[in-house]
Amino acid sequence: MAAFIVRMGPVLMLWLAVCVSGSWAVDRGNFKTCDQSTFCKRQRALKPGQSPYRALLETLELTNTKLTLQLINDNNKVRLLLELYRLQGNMTRVKINELKPLKPRFEVPDVLINDPPTEPLSLLSQDENGMVLSLGADSQRLIVSAKPFRLDIMEGREVLLSLNSRGLLAFEHLRIQDGMWEETFKSHTDSKPNGPTSISLDFSLPGVEHVYGIPEHADTLKLKTTDGGEPYRLYNLDVFQYELFNPMALYGAIPVMLSHSPQRTMGLFWLNAAETWVDISSNTTVFGQMLDYVQGSSETPQTDVRWISESGIIDVFIMLGPTPTDVFAQYASLTGTQAFPPLAALAYHQCRWNYNDQEDVAAVDQGFDQHDIPYDFIWLDIEHADGKRYFTWDPHKFPQPKEMLQGLEDKRRKMVAIVDPHIKVDNSYKIHSEIRSRGFYIKNKDGGDYEGWCWPGNSGYPDFTNPEMRAWWASMFAYDQYEGSRENLYTWNDMNEPSVFNGPEVTMHKDAVHGNWEHRDLHNIYGLYVQMATAEGLIQRSGGVERPFVLTRAFFAGSQRYGAVWTGDNAAEWDHLKITIPMCLSLGLVGVSFCGADVGGFFKSPSPELLVRWYQTGAYQPFFRAHAHLDTPRREPWLFGPENTALIREAVRQRYALLPYWYQLFYHAHRTGQPVMRALWVEYPQDTATFSMDDQFLLGRDLLVHPVTEEGARGVTAYLPGNGEVWFDVHTFQKHNGGQNLYIPVTMSSIPVFQRGGSIIPRKVRVRRSSSCMEHDPYTLYVALSPKRFAQGELYIDDGHTFSYEKQKEFIYRRLAFANNTLSSRSVGSVWIQTFLMLCLSVDGKESQLEFDFDASMSVLTLRKPGVNAGVDWTVVLQ
Amino acid sequence: MHCPILIAVVIWSSCVDSQKIRGISLSYKRFYRERKSFLCIDGSKLIPFDQVNDDYCDCADGSDEPGTAACPDGRFYCTNLGYRPHYIPSSRVNDAICDCCDASDEYNSHTACQNTCRNLGQRERAEVKSQMRALDQGLRLKQQLIEEGVLTWRDKQAQLRDLQRVLDDLQTQLDDLRKEDARRKKEVDALRELEIGALETEENSHRSHIMNESPVSIFYELDSNRDGRLSAKEVRAKLTDIQDGERVLSEDEAVIRGRVPGRLVKGEPVLKAAVSAAEKAAAELKKVEDAYETVYMEIRDLREKLATDYGPEREFLFLYNQCFQLKVHEYFYELCPFNQVTQTSASGAEVSLGKWGSWAGSPQHRYSQMKYENGEPCWQGPTRNTVVTLTCGTETALRSVKEPGKCQYVAEFQTPVACRPALRQQGVHSEL
């Protein structure tokens, strides 16, 4: 422990920003509308009304872990089995399946990280109309109404949420074939061997006007009502040149919706991997009277949601919050948290379809050094492989991949090469012949290997839902299997919706077969499995030592555990830049923090202004990668004149300086499930002004970013939340009061970013060639005082790339606090001191004086070189 | 300067080696003479001298930390004894990557950098030597090519002058012939007038108008453009009662009919001689007109060619009308300087990668790059273009062609004429 008295003295540094007193378009015809997807049309034709379902109360069984009850459809006498679970952490699980299905219906495996621990339900009362169950503390009750069947979750006298209150529970039971079941879309016929199997359920959310989530859609953060339009669709699709601001399906699907009001935040997790449509309506009067015990019923705003899926069962997790943080923790307890990426993966990535050859890679690498722009990863798209045979290298363009990788390693940089899940049908290609001989390919409805067209031409699709296949796939990343690979080669999984160029809606036929199940049942989870198997491969090749880094385009609930996602093939347009914010915010709300969009836009060519603005925005979004289509002109950062090069350099440098903060936010996301990039309402849940805001965002709690996303902008108006709080412009240290709209004049170099008063943010201000080069560099702490002259923050440090932080608990995790004119660092977790951490003189047990510099005009106090060791307790006292 | 905050007491002794300030060149030594304090080179701040290279950035210009990575835009001087000294960004000091060949940038990163300056220096000197040899040879060749170019230029100029002279002669001839032609035509006309007058007096006046007219006057009547010939068009325009099987007047018929006056005037030797002289004059005129046209075009082409910028000494002139080939994997490239660049695939399909546009080097070295533009358009993209970079070498050859961006080609073209004496200076400097 060392104590410092501010006045003078040497060694490591520390900044105090102190407040002292003042201070083109998609071809829509390729994709189905709800009307063209017959189950959606059928289900949507069903209008709210009296439900035909009735609970058979006499079938009630209540055990320690769950309650079961049969439901009967009075129209066709088919019985369903309802299972209710009270889960630890304020959640309720509702499962509905056929009581006696002709054959099992698909239940999604591998998404939940474990069997969610339950808590006993207790029966409070029961009569012929229903029963009341206790959900534990907080006077929360679950009311089961028998006829018609419905569920209400109440807290005190308030209904939090109702199921089947609009009578839209519909369960198409499996049946003996009673006619032609097949359906046709364009030239594709779906044989539908099991006939209609869809399911639907409605949820009513009294008091709720704002719902979020259910990515991936290129739409606003706040979900819109879908009355009179298309429902939001969840069906992983490779959409060529997607359109903005509509509910069409995109590459990934996470069936999780959050509802929010100043009183409460809740979540609905609809665990179903089949094609799913979500209708949202907001109507306070029509259905209000149904909730006769709701206070002020007809005046209460209400949002109604309806989920429709093509097959599987109803399995819903109701996360009761009540705060946003609680909902994140609840969802994380079910599906896990964000994978903790290697630090370098949070740095800048340079990608292009395609870097042509080794020489090109070397030249681009050299270009970054010549222009003194840092980067950590250079990427190779599909052209690097020999005829798009993944795991191989084009012998002319990349004859010596290991040498190339060594060249990057010498600069402490890394590479990502693409490995897609479509496998060229070519008997001389080892990957193909092994998959075929092991029977690992997905089968078509007639039992042969399913084949479709993709980049390599005729391709097979490995069945990643098969654990043996995944294990084999993972083994292919071993250094002796993946020829030309090295430790600094990582992987990118694209096209894993899966994309099938000649398939229905550019994807796989729904009647393709994965073992016992149809592709229909599990379509949306295919991409998750691809990334899961790939990430496992990268872990295994290092003997379980190194953290993997895998980027995926398709995803599902739980994908956050395996790496990063990006928003697919966007375009070099200003609106596409703007949409990156709601798209990544939506993903963050449902667990996926490691999100980014192609900087510059994939299709088309950005103007220099758009490119610069995109770098400035991307520098403050979690996954920061520039990418470009093959047909576009080159756009490495130095190709647009010295001024633009300097602007881009500065944006990238700002990213690198903030890497300690990013890393710590990801550590947090990994530990707790809290999103890294946050919607404002997450931190200001009472402030209704923030509820629809998606042109700015928070990083953690402490940085507010309002990127410039308008062409020719002269200024932006940022909303600084928090009455009584203060925010500091991170570039000028100027202080602004919270709870106001602030007009900020901007130039081309402006990236409006504010640090919350009351926070301490660690940075590394010595920006070097790559993040690895900065590992030994000292930290600079930016202490922004609250009006009460208080601040706190954290500092998390580990080796940046292995699992040692987890397995050997090798990390430093400090809580930093400034109070009573004293800045101190105290241990949070286990402490591991590594000599590399600090370039400092020994200060143990000594008391010394620090030199300082005070800028009275901006009230900035700079403490010169406190030189403390990040791993030990220390105190700095201002006197 | 009054800086009260900075009046500071050093509690323990400095760890800075005052004998040797790391990271500065000889010429900067004077700024770092050891005193009690150090003035940032930009004059912005005065700091205690022991804060120089103490791994904390005090000066806005980074001058207090020439030997550490502390300042954001600082620079570090690699002395590189035995090789070339140079500056690196200070962010490359102690980043565990060896940047200076004397390893001086990695004094505190636990990275074992070898001092490779001697080797590098030797290798570079050898390289420079061979480069110099190549450069000398290239420059000699260049001189030859320039001289050849001068000769060619002179030839071409002489050719141009000759052609001009020929053209002038032709012009004179043309003028004369045109006059002659006009005179002859007039003469024929006059004779015909006379003939018509004579015939009219001879012929009986109560014959029908058509029958009255002499063949000469009919001819005259028909020959509406007065060129002494009858075309089918002219005849068709005047006659409506041509009676042949097709009821269409062919050119042959018209010509035969057109000759009628000639045959009919056989008896009149004066007119006959005049007509024949006129025909001869017209034929002569046509011949000279054609010759004029040919020479004119030749002059235009030559002028165009001579108007192209072949460099300050016309050293690139010899490339005109030459083409250079290169095979890269399955593609065959051809560069025809000042004309075009093409790519031929294995299947034989030829694609234009651009037509001669302009010199495109930097303002200092305009002649170091050529731009070929407006080649075949790309699918969903712009037209193909090629930037050719010229490098110094003893041979003239196409060295590489690449496509770094879709339909944007870059080529390296080596030739002695790209050798510049200035390259020798650079080589000499690098021999330090």
In angstroms, rounded to a whole number, what is the distance separating the alpha carbons of residues A870 and A305? Answer: 50
| B65 exposure class (CB count in 10 Å sphere: 0-12, 13-18, 19+) | buried
Q: CB–CB of B12 and A10 under 8 A?
A: yes
Q: CB–CB of B72 and A765 under 8 A?
A: yes
Q: A309 pLDDT exceeds 50? A: yes
In angstroms, rounded to a whole number, what is the distance separating the alpha carbons of residues A151 and A143? Answer: 6
Q: Does A371 touch chain B (CB under 8 A)?
A: no
User: Nearest chain B Cα to A851, which residue?
Assistant: B8
At residue A828, the pLDDT reads 67
pTM of the model: 0.86
Measure A768 CA to nearest chain B CA, in Å.
5
Structure tokens at A45: 């034709």
The ipTM estimated for the assembled molecules is: 0.87
Measure A652 CA to nearest chain B CA, in Å.
14
| A356 contacts on B by Cβ (under 8 Å) | 402-404
- Phi, psi for A530 (deg, rounded to 5): -60, -45
- For an interface test with A, give the residue of B7, B65, B95, B362 to mutate (most A CBs within 10 A): B95
Are the CB atoms for A312 and A86 separated by under 8 Å?
A: no
CA-to-CA dists, residue A669 to A256, A338, A594, A609, A678, angstroms: 18, 6, 10, 33, 11
β-strand A170-171 against A199-206: which pairing, if any? antiparallel
At residue B213, the pLDDT reads 52
Q: Which residues of A are catalytic?
A: 494, 569
Structure tokens at A414: 């890394």
- Compute the average pLDDT of residues A704-709: 98
Banded pLDDT at A99 (limits 50, 70, 90): very high
- Compute the average pLDDT of residues A662-687: 98
Are the CB atoms for A99 and A70 separated by under 8 Å?
A: yes
E-strand stretches of A129-264: 130-134, 140-145, 150-155, 158-163, 170-171, 183-185, 188-190, 199-206, 210-213, 232-234, 256-260
Q: B305 pLDDT exceeds 90? A: no
Q: Does A372 touch chain B (CB under 8 A)?
A: yes
In angstroms, rounded to a whole number, what is the distance separating the alpha carbons of residues A374 and B95? Answer: 13
Q: Does A410 touch chain B (CB under 8 A)?
A: yes
Residue type present at position A348 = Y
In angstroms, rounded to a whole number, what is the distance separating the alpha carbons of residues A496 and A477? Answer: 18
Residue type present at position A691 = F
Partnered with residue A53 across adjacent β-strands are A73
At residue B157, the pLDDT reads 87
Q: A856 pLDDT exceeds 60? A: yes
In angstroms, rounded to a whole number, what is the distance separating the alpha carbons of residues A4 and A849? Answer: 6
In angstroms, rounded to a whole number, what is the distance separating the alpha carbons of residues A475 and A541? Answer: 8
- Compute the average pLDDT of residues B356-366: 92
At residue B15, the pLDDT reads 38
Averaged pLDDT score across all residues of chain A: 91
Measure A556 CA to nearest chain B CA, in Å.
34
With a CB cutoff of 8 Å and minimum separation 6, the contacts of A155 are A138, A139, A140, A141
Closest CA to A293 of A134, A159, A146: A159
- Compute the average pLDDT of residues A623-634: 95
- Phi, psi for B30 (deg, rounded to 5): -60, -25
Among A261-265, A845-849, A859-863, the range scoring the smallest mean pLDDT is A845-849
Structure tokens at B112: 């074992």
Q: A295 pLDDT exceeds 80? A: no
- Say which residue, A634 or B221, is predicted with more confidence: A634
Q: What is the dihedral of CA A614, A618, A623, A625, to 10 degrees?
A: 40
- Compute the average pLDDT of residues B290-303: 90
Summarize pLDDT for B141-160 with one digit per residue, the tens.
Answer: 999 888 888 888 888 888 88
Residue type present at position A346 = L
Partnered with residue B359 across adjacent β-strands are B370
Summarize pLDDT for B222-233 with one digit per residue, the tens.
Answer: 666 666 666 666
Summarize pLDDT for A778-804 with one digit per residue, the tens.
Answer: 888 898 999 998 999 999 999 999 999
User: Nearest chain B Cα to A836, which residue?
Assistant: B109
Summarize pLDDT for A471-515 with one digit per residue, the tens.
Answer: 999 999 999 999 999 999 999 999 999 999 999 999 999 999 999
- Compute the average pLDDT of residues B259-288: 72
Summarize pLDDT for A708-721 with one digit per residue, the tens.
Answer: 999 999 999 999 99
| B112 contacts on A by Cβ (under 8 Å) | none
A–B: how many Cβ contacts below 8 A?
79
User: Nearest chain B Cα to A605, which residue?
Assistant: B381
Summarize pLDDT for B185-217 with one digit per residue, the tens.
Answer: 888 888 888 877 776 665 555 444 444 455 666
At residue A262, the pLDDT reads 96
